[in-house]
Amino acid sequence: MRAFEHLLLAPILLPLLCGAALAPLTQGWHRLKFGLGYASVLGQLAAALALVRMTDGGYWQDGIGVYLAANWAAPFGIALVADRLAALMLLLTALLGLAALHFAMRRWGRIGVHFHTLFQFLLMGINGAFLTHDLFNLFVFFEVMLAASYGLVLHGYNAERLRASLQYIAVNLAASLLFLLGAAVIYAAAGTLNMADLAARIQAMPAADLGLLRIGATALALAFLIKGAMWPLCFWLPTTYAAASPPVAAMLVLMTKVGTYAILRLALLWFPSGWGYDALLWGGMATIVFGAAGMLATDSAGRMAGYGAIVSSGTLLAVIGYGQPSLVAAGLFYLVGSTLAIAAFLLLAELVDRIRTPREAVLAVTMEAWAVEDKPDEPMGQGVPAAMATLALAFGACTLVIAGLPPLSGFVAKFSLFHALLERDPVPGAAWVLMALVLVSGLVSVMALMRFGVRTFWATRAAPPALHLSEVLPVVFLLGLTAVMSVQASPILAYLGRASEGIHRPGDYVERVLRHAPVPGPAQEEAP
Amino acid sequence: METVIALAIGIVFGAGIWLVLRPRTFQVLCGLMLMSYAVNLFIFAMGRLWVDRPPLTPAGKPVDPAALADPLPQALVLTAIVIGFATTALYLVVMIGARGLTGTDHVDGREPER
């Protein structure tokens, strides 16, 4: 085995070790804790970039890297698999993690005890869920991710957060039980939990035996769709997003995408013939309608971002359900752009809230309890308050991406979605409905966000809020990434096209994972 | 034996669902616990029901797969129990916290208006 193959483990091991190292440090060491956590996220970013290069640069055959944990051959041990899609998601996780952690530097990371530890474990769970190729191991990584997120949603402990996380935890515990039920039924039907092995066995299975397996797959899909927020399984989401502290909420946006990722990966791997896709298509469209209506109905920034995430999830699920490789590529572009924008919007929401409601007073009590010294900052400018201008510009950029207006990445994403939808001749009715819904949801989000923006930035005569550079930078960073995405749209879309083609050839996975030979150990060589 | 186990799992899971839909947090917690017991039993049963068959291979003897139970669901159920236990304990803590901060044990954090 070549030395670089071990890099596949880095996105899981780095946060695990870092989180474990941070756990015993008391809050008095918060600078050290932040520094270590930041270094770990930077390391994950480097590993993700390297994996993108390795999967796309021909280091691995077919762009699929297989790592056999503990050197057990594939159907028996747990295989970790990196392909272009997984590498892309790892990169997105690292970028979002970097922004959220930077945002938490000044304020949120210092309120409460184990923020940094939990944050690292959350990253570990998300990264692991992207890399693992074993169904039960996926459950374990989901639980790691969820357990960390329970702690993080509670972070900054007040009545609103407790109430929201009570419901969040109950819903997700029930979803985990569904996951277990699904995995158990699939094991009973097929006798294996390795995803590639399952794919091979499902292809070879007589039609009479498929019924039980499909029941299992449905239970599993329900568990993923609760995380991925498909209507009618998404009612937990807006409340949780609005209640969670902003850096945590930004990471929650990514967690809904983990559910979508699992659906995308497993649906294409196990049921390439198209079973169950219609449910995703129409369910996704219903989700778009629900999310758009919610955006119009709400007034708070956090809830609006939550409904925006629901619209984005719905679009993605409909795209997966439509079942066309080029459309999935465009959908992935949309996924990356919308995740970045909604995360930026959630970070921004807290800064904007400082204009709208004097929540500082509430926060101040908590800050005092944790002895965070908070000197009042100078506003960033005089005359035309630069703080207001920065916030308004960032807000405008978020609106452009979420609504899909040029010149930022949202427009490129929607344009390529439409381009792919119009490919089939004749264009099916579902494609027209989907296009109409995407357009209408864009229009609705412009209306909702503009209404919010006008009320916040024009109609108030409040003093400009105190902004800190460390809080504005992550927002600008995330929005800058969407700008880069629209400038570099062609190479990124080409990469995503290759990623989408890769996941549409499940045969390659089965071949690569099951044929991957374990490393011969020294004992075996010496044996007679 | 299969019928009895299936009925038992069904009844426990059904009771769990009913409790989860109740408005008090303690009932929800009990419901989640019942559901997780049912699911654990279910996973166990998915390895087929055997009597008098060990899940371990005896050392030094030729292995006859027909004489052994499937060890994998047993390993899975162990993991599931540990994880379920930990998350339920966490839920209990949150529940007590919510009771203290909101002054009610209603899942919405406030009593319904009558």
| ipTM at complex level | 0.91
A-chain CB neighbours of B90 within 8 Å are 147, 150-151, 169
Cβ-defined contact of B94 to A173 (cutoff 8 Å): no
pLDDT score at A381: 45
- Give the pLDDT score at A361: 46
A373 — pLDDT class (breaks 50, 70, 90) = low
Residue given tokens 């449910």 in the structure block: A279
Please report the pLDDT score of residue A527 as a whole number: 45
Residue B55 clears pLDDT 80, i.e. is over it: no
Chain A nearest-CA distance from B47, in A, is: 7
Q: Report H helices in A271-300.
A: 277-297
Within 8 A by CB and 6+ apart from B83, the residues are: A140, A143, A176
Does B107 sit within 8 Å of A166, measured CB to CB? Answer: yes
pLDDT of residue A382: 46
Q: What is the pLDDT of residue A470?
A: 80
Of B19, B96, B112, B24, the closest CA to residue A162 belongs to: B96
Question: Cβ contacts (< 8 Å) between A147 and chain B: which residues?
Answer: 86-87, 90
Q: Shortest Cα distance from B65 to chain A (angstroms)?
A: 14
What's the rounded mean pLDDT across residues A466-493? 87
B46/A188 CB distance under 8 A:
yes
User: Mean pLDDT, to the nearest integer, of A294-323?
Assistant: 89
pLDDT, tens only, A180-226: 999 999 998 888 888 888 888 888 888 888 888 889 999 999 999 99
Q: Cα(A298)–Cα(A264) distance, rounded to whole angstroms?
A: 30
Compute the average pLDDT of residues A404-409.
82
Higher per-residue confidence, A516 vs A385 = A516
Q: Are A230 and A284 in contact (CB under 8 A)?
A: yes
Interface of A with B in 126-185 (CB under 8 A): 136, 139-140, 143, 146-147, 150-151, 154, 157-159, 162-163, 165-167, 169-170, 173-174, 176-177, 180-181, 183-185
- The minimal CB distance from A170 to the residues B32, B43, B102 is found for B32
User: Can you tell me the mean pLDDT for A102-126?
Assistant: 86
**Mean pLDDT value across residues B83-103:** 86
**Residue-level pLDDT at A518:** 81
CA-angle at B27, arms to B25 and B28, nearest 5°: 65
CB pairs under 8 A between A and B: 91
pLDDT of B21 over the 80 cut: yes
Chain B residues near residue A170 by CB distance under 8 angstroms: 20, 28, 32, 91, 107
pLDDT bucket at A77, cuts 50 / 70 / 90:
confident
Sort residue A404 into left (φ over 0), alpha (ψ -120 to 50) or beta: left
Residues 13-52 of B with CB under 8 A from A: 20, 25, 28, 32, 35-36, 39, 42-43, 46-47
Average pLDDT of chain A? 85
- Does A378 have pLDDT greater than 80? no
On whether the CB atoms of residues A488 and A337 are closer than 8 A, the answer is: no
Q: What is the pLDDT of residue A13?
A: 92
At A89 the pLDDT is: 93
The pTM score is: 0.90
Interface of A with B in 176-195 (CB under 8 A): 176-177, 180-181, 183-185, 187-188, 193
- Residues from chain B contacting residue A167 (CB–CB below 8 Å): 107
**Residue A229 and residue A226: Cα distance in Å, rounded?**
5
Residue A307: what pLDDT? 92
| pLDDT at position A380 over 70 | no
A154 with B94: Cβ contact below 8 A? yes
Q: Is the pLDDT reported for residue A496 higher than 60?
A: yes
Contact list in A for residue B88 (CB cut-off 8 A) is 173
- pLDDT for the residue numbered B44: 87
> Is B12 in the A-facing interface, judged by CB distances under 8 Å?
no
**Dihedral over alpha carbons A195, A190, A186, A314 (to 10 degrees):** 50
